Structure formats: C-alpha cells, structure tokens
Structure 1
Amino acid sequence: MRNIFYLFIGVLFFSACSNDDYEKILPKNPALAVQIPENFPAVNAAYYTNTPTEFGVALGEKLFNDKRFSTDNSISCASCHIQSHAFADDKPRAIGVANREGIRNTPPIQNLAFMKFYNWDGSKLQLEKQAIVPIITHEEMDSSLSQVIAKISKDEDYTALFIKAFGDEEITSDRIYKSIAQYEYTLISANSKYDKVVRDKTETFTETEQQGYEVFQQKCASCHATALFTDQSFRNIGFPLNTNTNETGRARVTGNLEDYMSFRVPSLRNIAYTAPYGSFGQFNTLKEVLDYFDEGVLEADNLDPIFKENNNSIPLTEQEKEQLIAFMHTLSDAKFVSGK
C-alpha cells in the first residue's frame, strides 16, 4: 500500500514538473520595434491595443498570403494587394473569385497604422474590423470565417504559429483579424526621395522636382496634407461617375446625400506604382488626372469647394503638370515596394 502511495505521489510530481516545463518552453512573443517616423501623424488608437509582435506579424503575413481565404482557394489578400504596386494592383477594379469584378479600384496598403478610416468610403474605423469585408464580399473572396477556419485548422504550421502568437492553438476570427492587422501595421512607407530631402536632408530635389513641390504646395497640399499626403477627409472632386448603380461613395456608409460620390482623399505616397487612378480606375496615367482637373470636372451639388470656387477646375499649365508629376515621383519608396 505504501508503494502505491509513493507511486501516486511520484506521478503527481512528474506531472507537475511536466506542466511547469511546458509553460517554461512556450516561446516568448516580443513586441516588434516598429519604426514610427517622427513627422507622421499619431497612430490609430486601435494600434495600442493590438501592437505588432514577432509571431503575430509572422502569422498575419502567412494569413495575408493564404489563398484558402477565398471560397475556391484561388485568391488571397496578396493577390490584389501586390507589394510591387505598393500593395495595390494594376487593374481598374479589383478582380475576385471566378474573375468577378468589384466596383472599386484596389487601394494601396501603406501607413495604415496612421489612418482614421479604412476602405474608400471609410466604412471601417479599425483595421482589425476591415479584413472581414473582402472575405465575405461576393465579388471578392465570397467566403466566410467559418470556412476559412475549417480549412486551416488542421495545418500544423498554423497550429505552431497560433501557439507562438497567442499561447494556445485555438483559431478564432478575432485572432485572425488581429494578426492580419498586426502585419499591415508594419507596412510603413517613409523612405522616399522626398523623405530624404525634406526630413533627412541627405538629398536634394532637381530643379523640376523643386518647382513641382512649389506647385503642389499652392494647388494640392490642402487636401493631400501631412506627411501621409492625405488629410483623410471625404470629398467629391467631380471624377467621372461609376456606371455601377451600387456605387454612391461615402453615402453608402452615412446614408447622407451630401456624401454622394465622396471618397477618402488618397495618399500620394508611391503613386507612381499604383496606376490606374480614381475610385474605379478612371484614369490610366497621372497626366490624364491632371488634364481632367485642368479641363474641368463634373458638376455636383456637393462638389468640393476647391473646385466650385475655381469654375470646377484646378488650372494647370503643361509645364506645371510636368513639374507636379516629377515631384510626385519623389514620393516613391523603392525599398518599400521591393521588400529589400
């Protein structure tokens, strides 16, 4: 009887040691040292409740590139958000499963940690809540989180990463959203020639670039403001209308006719990589955009005052257009788009 008692105590002891050892060998998941440019606006408040970690970001990047997120396993987030295009693509409208065409141009994914709104119409206020949109949208992935979780739940690589990122292997919608957001928070572009000239003082503009910068300050900077080159406002700037009757711009979110065909002002960073331009790819080149502004935009009751007060246009000479394009090319961050 005494031997059985000691055997029982021994089992408990070794079990306890095993549990302790297991807890000790769980990998640490340190926060990443994300470089926040000092001249950038403050980060979105949600960032502080979901700060990027080593394994959270690794998991998010894997999820971002996984085609099993789509109903037919044909596309991933990265299929439309291509790094060489500043995480946009080269199509007028996004193309989803079965070659279904969306109603809008794929937005670039850069500097999202500093944004107040997500999607062209600002339908999401937190990055962690944005990923569900392409997953369930018929024209994009046409899937569901339950389908995605079922597909990846038996993947040993995911099991290991969820343990490292969250402490156990449970795969939940919330953890998927958080991981993808953590990865996207790290996609910071702040290493363009413009940054090296204005912030770092390590390069200088050419004469044409400097003249373009001066034209930009006079005619563009009120909307394309801050180091993000967007004031994050929603404006109707009189672009050609989308023929898709489901498109109403910001009004889809607010239900307010005053927001009809208003869209979030896009950042001009890496704009040389993100053609075509406009909410549904109306323009193939930057020159076409500037020509349109110069020649006159569509009239609308809620047309932005900048245009209304200037006969529905932003007058530009051919030389100014050339100079502006030269300046906008200084916003290209080659390291960001190459990943090197």
Structure 2
Amino acid sequence: MNVFFKILPLLLMLISCTSDDYEQVSYENPELIFTVPAGFPQLNASVYTNKPTKYGVILGEKLFHEKRFSADNTISCASCHIQASAFADHHAQAVGIQNRIGLRNTPSIQNLAFMQFYNWDGSKLSLENQSIVPIITHEEMDSSILEVIGKLQTDLTYRVLFQKAFGDDQITPERIYKSIAQYEYTLISAESKYDKIKRNEGFFFTQSEAKGYEVFQQKCISCHSTELFTDQTFRNIGFPVNTNSNEAGRARVTGNPEEYMSFRVPSLRNVEFTAPYGSFGQFATLREVLDYFDNGVIAADNLDPILKNNNNRIPLTEEEKEALISFMKTLSDLKFTGQ
C-alpha cells in the first residue's frame, strides 16, 4: 500500500508584515489522512495525541528550517537534517554554531512515527520532547526556548501560522514542539525499489540484489528486522569507541553498566545516502562497515551475543559483501530524498 499524507495546497501568499495588515483568520485545520504502509509496526503512542494537521505540518516544516532557533541565527534543524541525505548529513559528528563539533553522528529522520525511541541512546520516547535537545545543547544551537519565542513573536508570518494551526496566535513552547513533531511524522519513506517489489508493482531484484537479500536474511535480519529495517533495540556491536568522557551509549540514559556503549540499531532504509556510519561516523563507506564485521569487532563484556557467540565477527565473503551493498541500495527512496 502506498504511503502518503494528503496535504492540501500550501498557504496562499501570506499577508504583508505590518501590524496594520494583520487580521484574524478562521480556525479550520483538518487532520491529515495517515495511511500506514503494509507491514510497518504500530505507531508511537504520541502520534495519537498529536495527530498531524494541515497547518500544524506547514508550521512545523517552517520551524524545521528556522535558523533563528540557534543563538547566532545560523543553524536550523534542516542544517544537519538534509533531505538529499535522508535527513542526515555527511559529517562524522554533528556540526553546530561556530563550527562546534557534537558528540555523535547526525541520525537520519525517516519513519519516526513508528519509532519507540529517539536519539542514538533512546533518551527520548516522543518527538514532542526531542526538539528541545538541539536548541539548548551547547554544541548545536546553544539557545533557549524562551529566546526562540522572543525572536518569533515579532514575526507576523508566524503569528498567522500559529493562528491557523492552533486557533490563536500565541506562540508557546508546547506548540513549537508539537508542530515540529507533526511535520516529522509526515516524513515517511516506503517508496524504494524494495517496497515496489514487495507490493508486486512490476519491479524485480537483479541477480546481485537477490543474492544480497538472501545474505541479509541469513546474517543481518536479527537486528535490522521489520519493514523499518531496525528492531529498535540497543546493542553493543563492538564498533570503535568514542573516547569522549560524555559518551556511554545507552548507559548514559539508564545508568546501567550492562548497556555501556550500546546504541539503538539504525534503520537501513536510505542507508546509501547517510554516510559516514556509526554513532560518531567511524566508517566512511558501507564496505568499510562490512569489512569490519568480517575482520572481527572489539570484544566487550556486554558485546551482543550474536557476535560474541560467533568469535566476535560476522563472516562475509567478498561476493556476499558486494551483494549486500547491492541489496541495501534497493532500500533507497529517491522520492523521499527528492532526487
């Protein structure tokens, strides 16, 4: 089944930015039709309490691209989450204002409506609680939500949009978070070659892709399962360790030493576009990732049993590596990335 949000045409040209021209608009803001792709897991519970609406999404998209979220008005969410890169970027670690380097690699933003955890360490359980993190983080936007609101309140364009989205023009933290989350809920990727093959739309795997799919089912699907291509668990898979003293993986959230350097299994959808790979960009290419698994990962007491019980590696032949990469490229959704 195709996935889409039926979004009505965007706002007509907004009225000019003088207070004399401002007038109230009627509160008509329908919910968008949400069609869940076949085989996808259940929605995050927050989607039901913050359903995407016509103007909520329009407002959220504008806020997503708003550079005034940062202290020096140079960085927006979209600065790091670039559509052509499946809403990730190509830096090993996120780069914020004044070229400050963040702790981790920028994760892609796709199919978030179906995720039960957010961030590499799963520190947030709902998108509505996530967007404050980059706003206040020193290495990212280094601002505050009150500072952001102060900037937006003087902009008539935003007053009109908040009026349309929420029934009055009051700009509040909760409304900012909710509208950004509504926009992010619409970022659904399910139009790859793989999806079209699964839906019997006349597409077929090449010989190499078919071989890669077979290898994937044998050696990768334990972690990269479901139609999201992640089981949403946290695992230590023995990647090179970020020595930053602030890094502890999932243990940074839970305080559980057994989860030290465990990270959320990333989705493989659009993985072709999201290099470099790993929690802090340890690997430049997919081939480097596969070579690392083949050669053997770093041992650890809490290393994932799949690796620990197999001599700390996932053995792969050269042919299997090439085939796996061919298959993973069938997960690329050019419609989603705008290419």
Query: Which TM-score band applies after superposition, normalised by the shorter structure?
Result: over 0.9
Structure having the higher Rg: 1
Q: CA deviation at 1:199?
A: 2.7
* Mapped partners of 2:245, 2:129: distance in 1: 26
Q: Distance in 1 between matches of 2:34 and 2:76?
A: 25
1:1-340 → structure 2 map (5 Å cutoff)? 26-338=26-338
Shift of 1:154: 1.1
Residue by residue, what CA displacement relative to the aligned partner does 1:153-188 show, whole Å, maximum 9, x if unpaired? 010110000000000010000000000000000000
Query: Hey, what's the Cα distance between the residues in 2 that align with 1:51 and 1:221?
Result: 31
Shift of 1:245: 1.4
Aligned equivalents of 1:185 and 1:255: distance in 2?
Answer: 30
User: If each structure's helix is expressed as a fraction of its own residues, which one has the higher value?
Assistant: 1
CA shift, 1:250, in A, is 0.3
Runs of 4+ in 1 over 6 A off after TM superposition: none
d(CA) in 2 for partners of 1:133 and 1:38? 32
Letter in 1 for 2:186: T
Give the superposition deviation at 1:35.
3.0
Aligned partners of 1:201, 1:243: CA distance in 2, in Å?
A: 47
State the AA in 1 paired with 2:118. Y
Question: TM-score of the superposition, structure 1-length normalised?
Answer: 0.92
Instruction: Return 5+ residue gaps in structure 2 as ranges.
Output: 1-22
2:15 corresponding residue in structure 1: none
Match of 1:3 in 2: none
The whole-number CA distance in structure 2 between the counterparts of 1:202 and 1:191 is: 13
Instruction: Determine the C-alpha separation between the residues in 1 that align with 2:76 and 2:190.
Output: 26
**Helix, strand or coil for the counterpart of 2:73?**
coil
Structure 1 vs Structure 2 CA RMSD: 1.1
How far apart, in 1, do the equivalents of 2:103 and 2:131 lie? 17
CA separation in 2, counterparts of 1:63 and 1:48?
22
Q: Distance in 2 between matches of 1:72 and 1:144?
A: 12
Runs of 5+ unmatched residues, structure 1: 1-21
- Report the TM-score when normalising by structure 2: 0.92
- Letter aligned with residue 68 of structure 1: R
**1:93 offset after TM fit, Å?**
0.2
What is the identity, as a one-letter code, of the residue corresponding to 1:120?
W
Amino acid at match of 1:98: Q
Amino acid in structure 2 at the alignment position of 1:152: L
Deviation at 1:27, TM superposition (A): 3.7
Equivalent position SS for 1:335: helix
Residue in structure 1 matched with residue 16 of structure 2 by the alignment: none
Distance 1:202 1:43 in 2: 29
How far off is 1:32 after superposition? Answer: 1.1
